[in-house]
A and B are shown apart, each in its own frame.
Chain A
């Protein structure tokens, strides 16, 4: 079964997983039955397929007959040439450097902590330090930031990309939590939920993709994680669909999200305790009626009652 390609883009993701991202938008009416079954229940006019190169053979069940894919091969080849431009690991390097390099390479994308590396290489300190310096200068190894063990130097062979355990996954950038990206995504999700009144994680994802609201690579799983953290922020609440009213498009019993209303919408409901000095006092445990810290001599009270 063939379908007419509506939109077709291919990008080479060099940073994270060496995956070929193939974005194909097709008009659903022209899709075969097999493809339609693979889609989640959505009312959108356009269905978007998001297929990584590793999975594309198993999941992509159709191929347009009238598209020349030679340019894709070209671009792929060009991308794949990149690692070859790196310095060769030929026989010019010293024996000590080779030992260190082999240990680093053996760890593949997991990288290795400098102390462990020193231990495994079994070289004297000055030689080891010199080897590391040489390998870094020649570009055969690189230093990576470990998201969980900050301040601990980790090395990885140049031909490997650090694993998710090292980088922290897509929420991290250069070993730091990418707060701008996270907050931006939170804002976007909140606006979508406000517009839809109630939506599932897939619903939010579909809406954002359909309207081209997400420029960066973002998965449905990530949207789901963001929504869960927003529930913790009390920005939205998790409910089960009743299939009635604003939930009419969501099957009964499915977990969905909707905005909080009233005071709680701010997540900053003023409680009784927080409106008085004692509620947030760091010295409350040491406060006694006749003690050094007491309500009659309390500076927080004095400040509070100054108006």
Chain B
């Protein structure tokens, strides 16, 4: 479930990129959940063409996933296939990270790869031929030889991006989901398709699982011939399929029917940022060597990670870790013993016997992420409520159970009166849970306090979305205010130039703050 300000931010982003009509459809899907076209029309009160076009735009930019499901007909009616549309909130929010993605590609692969990648970001989904044509257009040449060289360069760079998993084949356009009734009857047969047909999962999760191409062909460039890899069960469709699905196929996708569409693989970027966050955290919390060791482990196990939110790193032998660590410039002088010390510092336990036999290590990443998240919230508490509140908050964060007021002020060396004031303030701001416990013996009622981490963390994430939206709105407002100054030509006085400079500085501050805040949003939502 997306938080209220998460939805508001997503709607703002869509509105800024694709206009109000598309954002209206998107908001409808985000607020109401998965809907059919008819329902979208009813809720948005848009005409059919606008609504259908909006859905197409959203699908093209990977913000919406369609899937078809069989629905029971009315009295004396046959069951019919209905196309449903679901908004992909995470993918919408990724739109404000495009500059970060580009910076990574530029750093790792250089300008040429960045150009190809930029095209995918701008257009959402492109076939390889479209990418190559786009590249050739940009590097216009007079001779056919130069043209073919440009094509080769584009192919080469495209391969690089696919090999690094930064781009992937698009998911199936409209996977077919069996109804739950059918699942029950076919329960025994479930094997490979078990994930997409698992009735315990939500409909949305099943649709996403069904649409995702098989891992073996997800990044395969060679077999780019005629169809996407994921099961696309259009053949099973009933003739009564929703019109928009048909229309989309006819008008938009039909010319490219035989081509594989590619898109940016957001998952790989999230993994990249997660690794970076963990490395930064251990470097500041421990030392540089811990950062180098963790970075070496990530590098060596990058392809073995099965999902983004890995709780622990893939177990790796000490020799491999050491080998990878000394490959780095800053790790060249490291000894095996120092690497081993760092692994212990990172929470690994040394094998008690037989160091040489089976010395593999796995780092607890969840703990690192938890620490980083706690640090972010603690810094807010420290600045907003002061040092004593910070101490109390940390005590309650460590404690898994209810704590009495006396216990709290005694452990934190805060005066009782002040401690109570702080506790009530934190409780008022929904950071703490309070319970009154009656003490029969002393005829007193004591107050007990607890920090409900899950709800507080959700609240913090919502506040972050809210803050990001505010930064965006302020950015728009500042540019709006400076419109007149920016419109004027080059021949302007010093005063206007100074004002322009100031606007530029403001823009820079707001934009960089947004990027930093976005890191924190990812820390709480994606990691």
- Could you tell me which A residues sit within 8 Å of B by CB distance? 147-148, 150, 171, 176-177, 182, 225, 228-229, 232-234, 242, 244-245, 260-264, 267-276, 278-280, 282, 284, 287, 289, 294-296, 298, 301, 305, 307
Contact = CB atoms under 8 A, between A and B. Distances in A.
Contacts of A148: 406, 416
Given A273-B463, A280-B384, A295-B477, 12 more contacts: A225-B411, A229-B391, A232-B411, A233-B390, A269-B284, A269-B379, A271-B378, A272-B520, A276-B467, A282-B384, A289-B469, A305-B509
A232 B285 CA distance: 15
A275 B395 CA distance: 24
A269 B520 CA distance: 13
A267 B390 CA distance: 10
Closest 9 CB pairs of A and B: A271-B379, A272-B520, A278-B467, A295-B470, A262-B284, A296-B477, A232-B391, A274-B383, A280-B384
Interface stretch (B183-191, B318-326, B328-336, B511-519): B511-519
Interface in B16-69: none
A304 to B, nearest CB: 8
Nearest to A268: B382
Contact of B394 (A150, A171, A177, A232): A232
A268 B382 CA distance: 8
B3 interface: no
B423 to A, nearest CB: 15
Interface string B358-390: 000000000000000001111110111001001
B344 A276 contact: no
B341 interface: yes
Contacts of B283: 262
Contacts of A272: 376, 464, 516-517, 519-520
B506 interface: yes
Interface in B397-427: 406, 411-417
B287 interface: yes
B464 A273 contact: yes
5 contacts: A232-B412, A244-B344, A274-B380, A296-B474, A305-B510
Nearest to A244: B341
Interface in B455-499: 460, 463-464, 466-467, 469-471, 473-474, 477-478
Contact of B379 (A233, A273, A284, A294): A273
B331 to A, nearest CB: 18
Contact of B376 (A245, A273, A280): A273
A274 B350 CA distance: 39
Contact of B341 (A182, A245, A264, A305): A245
Given A232-B394, A296-B474, A298-B474, A275 B513 contact: yes
Given A171-B413, A289-B473, A261 B516 contact: no
A260 B350 CA distance: 23
B379 A274 contact: yes
Given A182-B413, A280-B380, A287-B470, A271 B520 contact: yes
Contacts of A296: 473-474, 477
Contacts of B350: 242
B467 A261 contact: no
Contacts of A244: 341, 344
Contacts of B253: none
B286 interface: yes
Contacts of A298: 470, 474
B513 A276 contact: yes
Contact of B380 (A232, A242, A271, A289): A271
B146 interface: no
A298 B516 CA distance: 21
Contacts of A268: 379, 382
B505 interface: yes
A295 B509 CA distance: 15
Contacts of A182: 413
A264 B284 contact: yes
A260 B287 CA distance: 10
Contacts of A284: 463, 466-467
Nearest to B510: A305
Contacts of A263: 284
A261 B286 contact: yes
A261 B391 CA distance: 19
B417 A150 contact: yes
A271 B376 contact: yes
A264 B375 CA distance: 9
A237 B516 CA distance: 27
Given A276-B517, A284-B466, A295-B473, A232 B382 contact: no
B285 A262 contact: yes
Nearest to A169: B410
